[in-house]
Structure formats: structure tokens, C-alpha cells
Chains A and B, each alone.
Chain A
Amino acid sequence: MLDLTPKEHSERTALRINSCKTCQPVGALYCALGVHNCMPYSHGSQGCVAYHRTFLTRHFKEPAIASTSSFTEGACVFGGGANLKQGTKNVFDIYDPDIIAIHTTCLSETIGDDLNSFIMDLDIPEDKLVVHSNTPSYVGSHVDGYFNMMCGFIKYLSKNTGVKNGKTAILPSWSNPGDLREFKRLAALMNVPITMFPDQSGVMDSPMTDHYEIYPKGGTTIPEITGLGDCDSVIGLGEMTVTEPCEQLKKKCRVNYEVLPYPIGVENTDKFIMALSKMNGGNIPYAIEEERGQLIDLMLDSHIWFTGKTCAIYGDPDYVLGLTSLVLEMGMIPKYVLTGTPGAAFVNKTKALFDKYDVGEKCVSKESGDLFDLHQWVKQSPVDLLIGSSYGKQIARAEDIPFVRAGFPVLDRYGHPLSPITCYKGAIRLVEQISNALLDRIDRDVPDEQFDVIM
């Protein structure tokens, strides 16, 4: 496996090998799936949307619906306006969504299609909506596409009517339905009325009913997105992803926001709970305290297996920051920390975390990196554990490293998007998964006389 990867690291400026990111539009598509009765729409050639739908379907084992302008060579020359006009008409005629959310690809961005003017020319049926966002694939990553589409919805829909609706807006960065349900559950336990946007729970984890619905029950409703402008305040979950949509909402509707780290691990979850408690007068129910106490209890029980163990973490910036924070809390050393998504802030934030736990000299962090970088690091100096998306399984196999899947995409396992890795409940799940991975390895490798049944 990956036999051609040499140990010696050579500087690369042009050749990307085994990417740790993908392109913007799939993020925009995923964001739009978190809106109720919404049809995501890709303005480009149809190969993009086929790939993006496939990517999401393979992660969730769920349908991922989206349509496309199906550019041909002619449209590249004359512009895609006619395709968009015909495409949106066909979507409303055949699939009858309440809203179409258009994103772009490198094709329509390179030829310079002006979506603002195209949309003004559309015949949109009464009570139906069209929004858009520009998502050039040659800028940033899928994470940028995700928050750009959030900005698109806010720009088109959110309004400040002057009357507050008494709700707190939660803007989560790219999350699994299991995590989104966890955010909602905790807000409900805290008695904090919320609007969460986007919300793919109920869409990308819909039940088997014997009757397929193209628009499942879940998703943030259009009135809720409009109402974001009337919220009391905004909690953004994920510093690297949702700052821009929060800022957009503030500019447009003057709603104050607080952006928190993505709530993976103890401290990050504490911050989320404290932020919610500001909304309910400081009242934190015992049920939440109990969950936190269970997590700390578990970490204490099992700490002997984690202390000083090294790991490599890779993936999307907010996930990696959260996972890094958690493993540090567990006494582990996040020796290699890497994201494919560009942005210097990622490195600064990881360094701050390393310094806080006084492991700065033992750890490396990189943005705009790839899994070839990571593999070479691991070859030079190994780690005890690997945490990240499915593509890391190649490195795990090549170097025989225990492996925990977390983040996007996880293509080769079932059920994972249903349960959280965020908040106290999710941290309990992660600690269990990490200890299982390490202990399974010990059980595999120890001689018979040291094979313990107890611990």
C-alpha cells in the first residue's frame, strides 16, 4: 500500500498528491440540503454535480439530490444564461421545490457568468424563490463553498423587521446529522429557543418508510432563515468556517454574534454551554452537568492508555482544531496536525493549543497540506494513532497504525453520521473509539502470557 511514497520529504509547490480537501461546490450543495424543500442547483457542466452527489451519498448512505445546468461546449462560448433559465424552469416544473439554491463551478466562474443578472431575468413561479452563491473551485476548499452558500441564503432571505423573535441563531460549520441533533438537544435541555441554519438532520439521516420523499422532513425552513435577522443573537460553531456568515448577518441585520470553536472536546463544549447559558440566565440543568461528569469520569478511568501517546490528525480545519483540543485534554500528543484547506489562522490556532499544553516542540501543524505530506512525516517518525477521513486508511494500512474515522468524508463505514462526535456525548463516543483502537492493537500484538482479560 502506497509503496511509492518515499520517506525523504521533498518540497512541492505544484503537484498535489492525495488531497486533504475537495472543491467548493460540494460544500454549497451540502449547505443547501440543510434547507427544507430546497433543490441545490449546480451552474456548470454536469460532471461536477454527479461527483458531488456521489461524494455525499457515499458518506451518508443517503440520496443527495441536486440538479445542474448541464453546460455543453456551446454554453461555454455564449454563456450559461439560457441553460440556467431552462434548468430552473424544469426544476420548478418537475421537482417543485420551494426554493432553488444555485452555486457555481470553475466553469461558470471562469467564463464569468453574471448570476445576479441571470436570476433577475428568470420567470420564477409565485411563492417560489431562487438564491445563489459564487463558489469558484479554484479558491479555498469545500469548506469555503459551505459558508459561501450560507452567506448566499442570508444575503437573499434574512431580514431585520425590527421585532426580535426571542430566538438564538446557531450557525454550525459543516456537521453530520448526529452532531446537529446534539446541538438542538442541548439547546432544548437549556430551554433556549433556537433557529439552526443549515440543518441537514432529518434530510441526510432520514428513516426508511417505504416511501421516498425527494424533500424529507428536515431542513431549516425559509421563514426561519428569514427570521435569522430578528434573532436576539448568534452563536457560530466553528471559528474557521462560520465567521463570515455571522459577519454577513451582523452587517445586514445588526444581530450580534459570538463565534466559538467547534464543540469537540471538554473545553470547547464548555464554551458552547456557557454561551447558551447567557441566553437562559445562567441556568444549566443537572442533565448536562451529569453528561460532562460522565465524560471526565471516563477520561480519568482510561487515561493510562492515552498519556504520552502520539497521534496524527487531518481533515477540515474546525474538525482538526476540535480533535486536537480533545486529544490534548486526554494527555495525548497531536504530533502532526494538518488540513488541506488554505488559511494561516489554522496554524496559529493549533500552535496556541500546543503551547497551552506545553507540547509545542513535539508537534507540527500545516495548512494547505495533503496526505502525502502526512504519510512522509509518519514515515520519518511514527505515531500511535491516526484520526481523520477514510482516505487515511491507506496510510493506516501502509504503516500499521490504529485508525479512528472522524470528519469528512467517511466512505467506508456505516452508521457514523447518526451519532455525534461533538459536545460531551460525542466526546464520550470519541474517547471510547480511541481507546478501542489502541486497546485492540495491544490485544493483537501482545504475547499470550501478557494477554489481559481485565483492565
Chain B
Amino acid sequence: MDAKTMVLDKYSARIYKNRKEHIIVMDGNGEIPTIAANARSAPGIITERGCCYAGCKGVVVGPIKDVLTITHGPIGCGFYSWGTRRNQAKASKEGEPVFVQYMFSTDMQEPDIVFGGEKKLRQAIKEAMEIFNPKAIMICSTCPVGLIGDDVQAVATETEKLYGITCIAFSCEGYKGVSQSAGHHIANNGLMKQVIGTKDTPIENPFTVNILGEYNIGGDGFEQIRILNKCGIDVRTSFTGDAAIDDLKAAHMANLNLVMCHRSINYIAEMMEVKYGIPWLKVNFIGLESTCNTLRDIGKFFGDQKLIDRIEAVIAEEMAEVAAEREHYRTRLTGKTAALYVGGSRAHHYQLLLNDFGVKTVLAGYEFAHRDDYEGRDVIPTIKEDADGKNIEHMTVEADPEKYHAYLTPEQLEAVKAEIPLSEYKGMMHGMEEGSLVVDDLNHYETEAFTRILKPDIFFTGVKDKYAIQKDGTMSRQLHSYDYSGPYAGFKGAMKFGHDVVMGLYTPCWGMVSPPWKNRATIEAHIGGGN
């Protein structure tokens, strides 16, 4: 029996029917199979997924550093998203506020559920203004807010008038959609409608980009910006790691959008292209080869020979700097196998980093990616929307008559498109080896079962799985929080990653798991023929 059949074997007919569509064995013939994704999780199955609020507040909105974000709801949601995603931020300049160390909540109580929470939300905003006087406030709704009918949008509009600040409400109740993904979409719509394009701060350097879907976990974004700046490329803003609201407002002035996390930010990438004429390029700063390819693609887009030469010089210098260390890790890791189960983009990006060290991926999966993240954007027209996704607003935009600008002429754009993945993403499955498994919404049981069958040397996943996998004898590292390490992006990040993985595999403790009396007992029992 193959691994897929063995794992599915335990399920009832109903669950079997559902789950078999979410588990794919790659056949390696170059054709990309169809996977079921972005569908509701079966109740009780122990999904690792979170909710829409986590996708909106926790992922996209929360990292914006100088915005005061209020969670409108009972205390839990705000508390659990306080300091738990490692989106680093530092003040843009002295005196600028950084709110990410704080949590703000309306801490709804029973009377707020009964009589409505709008009054408390207004009072909370008043208090926030009095104490902090922020330039922008964002409101993130939680489950009960939608149910009791609090009109957070009206409160936001009122707030803008009353205090003359930017105020945006996100209706990201936890039950919307089927995962964090709905929250990304809601956050994207809000930023597109009310933030991007509202402030015209011209760029000084034609080679100015935005990095979309980069949340600066463990300083990843800082390392990317270091490399880009070294090449002579300016970064207007990241969406949204270490982002300042004024930079997000002026993001439409940049000439190219680099998309790191396709899942969480592709909506904004598409809309900015239509509205402002800014093309987007799928990039990957995770892995040495990937980082080099990404930099070269950016060079090709701008087509400036000086820039291209500078990029090659930076690549040569950075690669030379890490060469010896890379070899050190490669000799210790070549031939090892890995499983990856991460949110919506890292399970792809990190396969390429693992390739740098000779590690083969035997299983990869996403919590909440859609089919296009697995199969490539070509399948988007064939994706059928189900009942759970219908209530997420689909925004359409048109070209802005004043602010539309294109760095390349239509002819130049077509020529560049032939060479680099502009407005295109081929998906995770592309390039995955024959026999490797792709699993969507991997649950607790499947994690344990696949680990025991496939016996990967390393399982990269999140904190909820980590200790169960480790207790079962497999090294596990977190690819959400980086186990409090990082950055893992770029040249220096790849070395940090190599260091951490080698450290985890070779820590002496692995050799001490079995107590000596157990070993001895086994041998004696064998010799004696008993037990």
C-alpha cells in the first residue's frame, strides 16, 4: 500500500471521500494534477487552521507599525495575537510611534453582546485618541460583532470625521470563509480601498519597488531590503512587515511590485496593476539560488545595464561570502529528507532553500492556500467558488485616470514577460519530484501517520505540531516563527537556516532518548527468547 492509501484507510467513507481529493501523489510526468483546496475543514478532524480574524489582523493589518489596531470583541482574540507573530518593526525615525508591542481590545462584556458594542467601540477610540493620538486607527471585528450587528464601518467613518485621521474597519469575523485566507482578502480590500493611493509621495529612484506579502518575520524583510538597497534598488514599503501607514498610502508611486507571499497579497498585486499600471513579479528570497534568480529577474525588468551589472556584482560578493559556510551545511544535510506543512506560501519557498543544501522534500502542504498556489495561476478561471467563499467581497478596480503610470511601454512589457514571471505564478507543485506528496489542510492524525510512514529527517511546521512530532522521534522546526531565530531570507538568512537545521539534527540529545536499561533489557530478552 502506498502512503496515501495507508493514511486514508482509517477514515469513515464520508471523510475518505473528502480527504482523498486533498492528498496528491506527484507522478513526475510534468503534468500538474488537480487538488482540492480552500474548502471547509471537517469538524472534529483537528485541523491546524486558524480563522479569518487571524488572517486579517494577525497577518496583514497587525504588522503596520504606526497604526493603532483595536480588536473589537471579547478579550481572547486580541490577547492571542499580541506579540505572537514575530513581525519585527522599528520606528522609521526617532519619535515615530510603534504600536506592535501593544494590544488593544474593546474587551466586550455580556451587556455589550446584549445591547450592542458600538458605544464601547466609540469610547475605546476616544480613549485611544486621548492617550496616543495616532495618525490612523484600524478596527478588526471578531465573531460576535457580525452576529449582533455592530456597524463597525459606520464607526470608522464617524471616527475619520470626528478626529481627522484615517480609520478603517475590517469585518473579519472568525467564521467568515474557511481559514485565515478570507482574512487576507478582506484586509487586501480594505487597504486597496482606503490606504493605497491616498498620498502622493514621489519616488526618487526609478528602481523603486514594493515588497508585497512580506511580514518581516524574524527580520526577513530587513535582509531583503539590505540586499536590494545594495543593488541600488529602493523599497518604498513592504506589505506589511515594518510598514508605516504613509508609505503604504504612497505605495502606488513605485514602479514594480515584488510578490513574496502570493496567497495573502495577490489581490492587491492584481488590483494595483489594473489601477496604477504597476506590474508584479513573483519573487522568492528564500534560498540562495532563488535569491539570485529573483535579483536577476528584477534587473531584467528594469533593463538598465548599470543596474544589471551591480546586481551581478552583489550576487558574486554575497555568494562568495557564504560559500564556505554553505558547503559546511551541505555536507551535513545532503541526502536528508524533509516534510513541510506551512500556511500558504512557505511550503513552496523553503523547498528551494532545502535544495541548496541537498535536502529532498517528500511531503509538502498548505493550511489554507488555494488551487492557484498549488497548481499555478493558470487554473484560476477553472476554480469554482463554493458557498463558504461567496460572502467575501470581490473588489474590481479600474485604471486611475491621474495616477496610472507604467515604467515599461506595452511592447517592452511583452518582451520582458517572455523572460521573467511577470503577473504569473506557477505554483508549488511545479517542479516537485515524482512520488512526493502534496497534502492540503493536513490534520493532526495525518501528520502523525505520514511522519511514521515517510520517516522524514525533518518536519517543518508550526508550534501546534512541533512537540508531537518531536516526541515521536522526528526533528521538527517551526517555519512560522522560525523557532525564535531568523532571518531566514536572503544570503545571510540561508546560512542562519542551515545552521539551525544542522544544530537540530545533530544535537547530542537524540542519542540519549532510550535509557541504557531499556537497551540492555531488549538484548537479554532476545537472547533468552522470552518476552
Contacts and interface: CB of A to CB of B under 8 A. Distances in A.
Given A67-B46, A138-B74, A212-B468, A74 B388 contact: yes
B45 A67 contact: yes
Given A4-B97, A90-B44, A208 B76 contact: no
B359 interface: no
Interface magnitude class on chain A: 35 or more
B472 A54 contact: no
A178 interface: no
Contact of B514 (A10, A91, A210): A210
A184 interface: no
A57 B463 contact: yes
Contacts of A54: 80, 84, 463-464
> A10, A26, A73, A209 — which one has the most chain B CB atoms within 10 A of its CB?
A73
Interface stretch (B29-37, B119-127, B283-291): B119-127
B473 A18 contact: no
Interface in B94-130: 97-99, 101-110, 112-113, 120-128, 130
B43 A83 contact: yes
B75 interface: yes
Of A41, A61, A93, A138, chain B has the most CB atoms within 10 Å of the CB of A138
Interface string A85-97: 0111111011100
Interface in B151-181: 174-178
B15 A90 contact: yes
B99 A209 contact: no
Given A57-B464, A212-B471, A13 B44 contact: no
A211 B11 CA distance: 22
Given A210-B472, A211-B472, A50 B76 contact: no
A449 B81 CA distance: 47
Contacts of A61: 467
B148 A94 contact: no
B143 interface: yes
Interface in B57-104: 70, 73-84, 97-99, 101-104
Interface in B468-502: 468-473
Contacts of B473: 210-211
A18 B142 CA distance: 18
B213 interface: no
A73 B388 contact: yes
A139 B429 CA distance: 46
Contact of B101 (A53, A67, A70, A394): A394
B143 A209 contact: no
Given A94-B11, A138-B109, A14 B445 contact: no
Interface stretch (B48-56, B194-202, B307-315): B48-56
Interface stretch (A30-38, A105-113, A157-165, A440-448): A105-113
Given A14-B120, A47-B51, A211-B473, A107 B175 contact: yes
A53 B464 contact: yes
Given A12-B127, A47-B50, A107 B144 contact: yes
B49 A46 contact: yes
A70 B471 contact: no
A46 B50 contact: yes
Contacts of B81: 51
Contacts of B77: 47, 51
B382 interface: no
Contact of A84 (B43, B45, B73, B514): B43
A107 B174 contact: yes
A6, A69, A87, A94: residue with the most chain B Cβ atoms closer than 10 Å: A94
A370 B176 CA distance: 30
B30 to A, nearest CB: 35
A47 B123 contact: no
A68 interface: yes
Interface string A55-86: 10110011111111111111110000001101
Contacts of B444: 65, 95, 214
B127 A10 contact: yes
Contacts of B98: 3-4
7 contacts: A23-B76, A50-B50, A75-B175, A90-B44, A105-B143, A106-B74, A107-B144
Interface of B: 10-12, 15, 40-54, 70, 73-84, 97-99, 101-110, 112-113, 120-128, 130-132, 142-144, 146-148, 174-178, 387-388, 391, 444-445, 448, 463-473, 513-514
Given A68-B44, A73-B388, A90-B15, 10 more contacts: A15-B127, A46-B50, A47-B174, A58-B463, A95-B444, A95-B445, A136-B110, A137-B76, A211-B473, A212-B469
